[in-house]
Each structure stands twice: as structure tokens, then as C-alpha cells.
Structure 1
Amino acid sequence: MTETPAPPAPSFRSDMTVELVKHSASDTDVLWAARVSTAGEQSLDELNKDPERSKGLINYLMRDRHGSPFEHNSMTFFISAPLFVFREFHRHRVGWCLAGDTEITLESEAGNLRRKTIKDLYQQWHHGVEDQLPWSAGGVTWHAKAGKWRAQVWRQGVCHYLGLHESREAAESAVLEFRDQHPTTRLRRLGSVRRNHVRCYDEETLTAQRARIVDVIESGVKQLIKITTAAGRELRCSVDHAVFTPDGWCKAGELRVGDAVMAAGTAARPSDRLVPPGLRRGIGVWTSMQRERLIAEQDVCHLCSRPFARQDLALDHVIPVVDDLSRALDESNLAPACADCHATKSAGEQARAKRGGKVAVARPDEIVAVIEDGEEMTYDLSVEGPWHNFLANGIVVHNSYNEESGRYRQLQPVFYIPDASRKLVQQGRPGKYEFVAGTEEQHELTSRSMAEVYRKAYETYEEMLAAGVAREVARAVLPVGLYSSMYATCNARSLMHFLGLRTQHEQAKVPSFPQREIEMVGELMEEQWAKLMPLTYAAFNANGRVAP
């Protein structure tokens, strides 16, 4: 009998790790962008002939805050840190940005679609929703004694008399003019806004899915390009924004006329006529033959996440045969499913196959124009996985924040406990406070208390998982001191914004008061960036660590 492996014991760390996994970033990128925009392509031959001239140009761009030349590069970092660090970090995601008038496709639980601009979504997400009607009552009434129309408006408890008028139209005009001159609208915070989901796509099957919005971010003023497709779709975004193409993900700035992007479309819904009965029976026989090998004696249903004995489980095609016949004999497409879940899923698949009709998919749309489109405020979304994409003006784009998900895997018990160098005591008031070292007793209390809470929280988490509670529910008991990991992509300009706010430095013109843990991440990113772009890094420090 196979013994159940012992659950992992909690471990504790006090460090942060940052790994530069890929990049296309050098000082030459800045010089190339700056000189091409003013002197043309022939200036590229001069890049390495006069180092001092190059140094002076970068310093000039930094000093006079010409920001766009610093955006034509890219760095992707893999970061391991506690959850509370990421809650601050993702506000500084960079590069991948959309124009404010970009329409995001939202999808309800019932599958109904609607569109909202990303700027409006940001305003409602962070600042609430304004009522359409003003805080005023009253209007136009007939004054029988005078034989005229009376106009008046009650506003915040005060009646404003607007006189008698010969015609109703004149009285109504007076009321409208008053309300235009005295706008008063209520601001409501709607919880439903934060429950919005977006239409996204499975990147393997290209079928439409639904994903929850995690955050909406204002990303700053950026240089934009406009991509126009043969179907009339237009996408205005930064050059670094990732766009889905038939060949995979590609930066918007690398796309050319004649290339294709994946956009919202439809395809014929699969029919059971596409799978002959004989072939269907053969697939069933082959699948049953894999059962003993692919299902453990004690295994978990991939649909409801509950544990079962092998005899209570069947092998299920994760991507149904009616959706993709080529995956019918693919072992990686098989997973255990309990009898109830398997029956429910199979019935739904058969009903869908017999129904025919159309299904939402992503389809190629050829690019007919790519042009520069000025600078303006930009925005971005962070959405849940596993696909991390969404529709922007009908084109499939990616979000730039990929964090380890507690919905799809069991989170590991690695927790943060500050070491003795972490200052524990805050003195002063907000805006003028400082941190000082704690006593030995305070450090001992902090370490002991954190460890106790972490152990109890993770024990509860494991207990809930063992009882069949879904991972996405059980993770709610875990504290923010849990370590997670993520990929973050940025360019030099946005990284400078991040460092200016999240690190302290003697050369900084503007003081910053970052939490020490996110400063540790910033210091590690800064160390690696300084090696890639030494001239840009020197100019950043020489000009007070203010991003251009």
C-alpha cells in the first residue's frame, strides 16, 4: 500500500530574489530612438564613434525629460517575494499600455457581452460611479393666476425661483441652464464594478473563455501606435504591448502591414457527425485501457478537486473530443473525473455537439496599417489566469502581470519573517516618520508570533483542501506573508518611475518612504539594470533620480 507523503513543513525566509530572465535593453536603444527621430537613419552609423557625445545626449534627454527614447527596450524579471510586496509592485507595471478610449469586452456569468472603455473602467474601479441625475428637484409648472409657465429648482434644500415665462420651452430652457451652471452629482461606489469579468481566449484551442479582472491600472503618459486591421478594428497601444498573433505573442511595435493579429470571431460549432460512431467507440476503448496507468489508487477529480478511490474515477478528456479530435488520443489531455462530474460534463458536450450553430473563437485579422499616434494617458488590466489575456477593441492582447495563482496549484508553505536588520519601530507622523531598530524582545516577539500564525494558517489551508474545498476558496486563510512569484516586464522609463518611488537614495531630489521589503526588490532590479544601461543609469542618478 502506497504511503501518503507527509505534508511539507513551513519554512521561513527574510530575503527577496530577482532574476533577469530576458532583455533587449542597452544605452544604444536610447541613442537609436533619439537620433532617428531628429537626424534620420543615417545617424545610426555614429552611435559608437563618440562615447562622450552619446553620454551627453542621454544626459540631455534625461535632464529635459524627453521620455519616449527610454521606452524602446524591454526587461523581464522573475521575482520571488511576499504577497504584500506584489500588492504594491503591480501598480508600477510598465510598457504594456492601452489608450483610454480602448473598449474592453466584458462578459457576464450568463455569457452576455458588453463594452466599456478602459478609462471608464479605471474611474469606476478606483473612484466610484457618478449618478446621472443631479441633486436637484423641481422644474416647470403652470401658474394659472399669472397665465404663464413658472420655472424653479430645488437644490440641496434651497428653492431657486427662475421666473415666469410665456412658453413652456422658455421655462424648461431656464431650468436646464441653471442645472448646467450648478452641476451636482453623487458619487457612488458600486461593488459590482469589481466583480467584472472579461472575455478571454484559450491560447491552445482559441475558444472563448471568461476571466475575472484583478485590477485596473493607470500607467502614465506614453507614446502610442495605432494598428488597423482589414476588418476595420483599431488598437491604440504602446509599442511594448503584447498582441496575440497566429504565431504566438508579439510586441505591437514589431508588427507590420501584412501580418495578422487574433481577433474576436466565430466558427461552426462541432457536430457529432464529425466523429463517426466507430471512431468514437475506438476512442472510448483506448481511453479505458489507460485508466489503470494514469489514475492513482487515490486520486483527485480535476473538475471538483475532491479525492476518490480509483474505482470511483474515470478518465476524462479535458479538451472534449467534439472540440478537438486531434487531442482524442493525447495522454496529456486525460485527467481523472468522478462519476457525477464526468456524467454532467459528458452530457453537456453531447448536447452542444448535437445543437450545432456557432461558437466564439479567436480568428486571424490582417493588419493594413501601423502608424504613430501621439502621446496620451494610458491604462492596463490585470486579469486572472490561466490565459491572462483580454479583448481590446476586439483584438486579443495580454496583461503584463503574471503572478503565481492559488486557483490552479497548491501554494507552498514558504513565509516571510524579517531578520534582525529590519527596523521595527515607526516614529513620527505620516509624511515625516522614520523607522528605528527594535529591541531584542520586539524581534523575538515578531519572529515567534509570525511563525505561529503561519503554521496555524497553513494547517487550516491543508485541512480545507483535504476536505475537498476548492483551492481558490481555501487560499483565503493564508496570510500576506506567504511567498509568491511572478514575471514582470518593463522598460527603462517605467523602471525609473518605480525606483524613484520605491527606493531611498542620497542623490534623489524627491524623498521617498518605501516599505523596506519592496525597496529590497527595487535594489536588486536596479543592480541588474545598471549593468545593462550604464550611461542611462548614470544620467538617472545625476538628474536626481527623477524619471523622464
Structure 2
Amino acid sequence: MTDDGAEMRFLDDVTVELVKHSASDTDVLWAARVSTAGEQSLEEVGTDPERSKGLINFLMRDRHGSPFEHNSMTFFVSAPIFVFREFHRHRVGWSYNEESGRYRELRPDFYVPGTERKLVQQGRPGKYVFVEGSPEQHKVVTEVMEASYRQSYAAYQEMLEAGIAREVARAVLPVGLFSSMYATCNARSLMHFLSLRTKSEQARVPSFPQREIEMVAEKMEAAWARLMPLTHAAFVASGRVAP
């Protein structure tokens, strides 16, 4: 327990929740067909997308991207701060609002890699791989991280108790601290994110994301695949290249 009664938690996973959406495969169809059908494309709003999955595959294959933008998904994400610093590199088609250490006292939730997280980097930049760590290495990571987190959060609490402003006291907190945000995107921007932040044998262009942001991406992809299964299948079939 910390001085203010909050329980310090060491977490090895991230949270992703789809909180709001207006997204379906049909959205792609009527957006695409306005180019040839004009006002008659409104008739596609309630159509069965299964009858037109060939059109979705064509749009994806030939990279006609704009029809994939007429939808919206809002996710709640809780993850380490270092994940958000990478996430916010994705700016086109994304909107973010993150919790603020200026306006609230930050909770003592910290990231410690689980035993399945590969710890050792081998090779030079551009050609390196990650391999499993030994039990001894996992022990070192866990013990050192937890000790560092306890020390930094104690320093944070000490300054708050001395009357120091939250925006100043937060400077001692590490990037392994969990933060939370709402992230809103459309299918096209999400596909671009997934193409860079997941590693897949089906990808035409290989990507090498940090595992922790890939954990977020995998949960987002699973939610999106349930909303727009034909679009997701076309994305995978096209080599996971965003249109």
C-alpha cells in the first residue's frame, strides 16, 4: 500500500475496450458506390455486405482507400506510458485524449514484463531479434523494476505531501507507469496502425513492433474484426497493407 492507501500494482498486460462505434462493412459499400451511382448509392445503406464482398476485396487490392474512412471506433486503452509515446506517432485519422498528471494524482500501476516476454536483443540495428530470457534474467527484471517503481512513487508521494504541484511532482515517475486514453479512428487509419504495430507471417511488408504496443494492436484488431469481418479478411488477404 502507498501512503494514500492506493494499492501498488505490477501488471504484465494492457487493457483495450471498444467503448463506442459506428462501423460495418456496409459503410464501405455505399461510400464506394456513390462514385458511380450518385444518390442511388443510398440504397446500399441497408444492403447485405456478403453480396458485395468482391467490391471490398477490389477496393483493398487496388488501394482505393477513402471508402474505408466512413466509419468510427473509439477505444479505451490502458497501457504503459512508453506505449503511448509510440502510439501518438500515428496522427492521420486518429484522435486522442489521455489522462493528465497535472489534474489528477496518478495511480501506482506499473508495467513488469511477464515470463513470456522475450528479454534479450541479439544482432545489430535493423537485423536484430529478440530471444527468450533465462529465469535469472526475468528475476532481475522483476526485482529491479519493482524496486525502482516503489522508490519513484514514494518520491512522488513525498512531494505531493509537501504541497508540490502534481505537474511538478510527476517528473519523477517512469515511463513504465500506466496511463489511460481514448483513441478514436476509422478502419483505414486502424489498418495503417496494424500494418506497422503487428508482426505477421501474412504481412507483405514485415514489421518489427515492440511487444507491448503489439499487445494493444492485437486487442484492437480482434474488436475491429468482429465489427467489419469482410473488410478485415480483405486486409489480411492483401498482405496486411493499408489501402
Verify same fold: TM over 0.5.
yes
Cα pair distance change 1:402/1:480, threshold 3 Å = same
Select the residue among 525, 530, 533 that pairs with 2:220: 525
Select the residue among 138, 147, 151 that pairs with 1:443: 138
* Structure 2 length-normalised TM: 0.95
d(CA) in 2 for partners of 1:73, 1:404? 25
| Structure-1 residue corresponding to 2:101 | 406
Cα pair distance change 1:78/1:94, threshold 3 Å = farther
- Alignment map for 1:100-119 (pairs within 5 Å): none
* Structure 1 length-normalised TM: 0.43
Select the residue among 456, 469, 491 that pairs with 2:151: 456
The answer to whether structure 1 residue 423 and structure 2 residue 118 are counterparts is: yes
| Structure-1 residue corresponding to 2:47 | 48
| Structure-2 residue corresponding to 1:70 | 68
What secondary structure sits across from 1:421 in the alignment? coil
| Structure-1 residue corresponding to 2:196 | 501
d(CA) in 2 for partners of 1:428, 1:80? 32
- Alignment map for 1:93-492 (pairs within 5 Å): 93-95=91-93, 400-492=95-187
* Deviation for aligned residue 1:50: 7.2
> Is the CA contact 1:80–1:484 (under 8 Å) kept in the aligned structure 2?
yes
Cα pair distance change 1:74/1:50, threshold 3 Å = closer
What secondary structure sits across from 1:20 in the alignment? strand
* Deviation for aligned residue 1:472: 0.3
| Structure-2 residue corresponding to 1:329 | none
* Deviation for aligned residue 1:460: 0.3
Select the residue among 26, 30, 33 that pairs with 2:31: 33
Cα pair distance change 1:93/1:78, threshold 3 Å = farther
d(CA) in 2 for partners of 1:448, 1:65? 48
> Is the CA contact 1:83–1:481 (under 8 Å) kept in the aligned structure 2?
yes
Q: Which has the larger radius of gyration?
A: 1
> Is the CA contact 1:78–1:488 (under 8 Å) kept in the aligned structure 2?
yes
d(CA) in 1 for partners of 2:85, 2:137? 26
The one-letter code sitting in structure 1 at the alignment partner of 2:147 is E
The one-letter code sitting in structure 1 at the alignment partner of 2:234 is A
What secondary structure sits across from 2:183 in the alignment? strand
Choose between structure 1 and 2: higher helix proportion: 2
* Deviation for aligned residue 1:43: 3.4
* Deviation for aligned residue 1:547: 0.3
What CA RMSD, in Å, does the superposition of the two structures yield over aligned residues?
1.4
d(CA) in 1 for partners of 2:147, 2:83? 21
d(CA) in 1 for partners of 2:113, 2:48? 49
How many percent of aligned residue pairs carry the same amino acid?
Answer: 75
What secondary structure sits across from 2:89 in the alignment? helix
* Deviation for aligned residue 1:404: 0.7
d(CA) in 1 for partners of 2:47, 2:86? 39
The one-letter code sitting in structure 1 at the alignment partner of 2:21 is H
* Deviation for aligned residue 1:49: 5.7
What secondary structure sits across from 1:76 in the alignment? strand
Point out which structure has higher relative CO (alpha carbons under 8 A, 6+ apart). 2
d(CA) in 1 for partners of 2:48, 2:106? 53
| Structure-2 residue corresponding to 1:58 | 56
* Deviation for aligned residue 1:56: 0.7
What secondary structure sits across from 2:240 in the alignment? coil
The one-letter code sitting in structure 2 at the alignment partner of 1:88 is E
> Is the CA contact 2:29–2:49 (under 8 Å) kept in the aligned structure 1?
no
> Is the CA contact 1:94–1:495 (under 8 Å) kept in the aligned structure 2?
no
Choose between structure 1 and 2: higher strand proportion: 1
d(CA) in 1 for partners of 2:126, 2:25? 36
| Structure-2 residue corresponding to 1:227 | none
Structure 1 residue runs of 5 or longer lacking an equivalent are 97-399
The one-letter code sitting in structure 2 at the alignment partner of 1:405 is S
d(CA) in 2 for partners of 1:515, 1:479? 18
d(CA) in 1 for partners of 2:48, 2:144? 61
* Deviation for aligned residue 1:9: 3.7
The one-letter code sitting in structure 2 at the alignment partner of 1:506 is E
Cα pair distance change 1:471/1:49, threshold 3 Å = closer
The one-letter code sitting in structure 1 at the alignment partner of 2:209 is P
Can you list the C-alpha shifts for 1:348-383, whole angstroms capped at 9, x where unaligned?
A: xxxxxxxxxxxxxxxxxxxxxxxxxxxxxxxxxxxx
Q: How many residue pairs were aligned?
A: 240
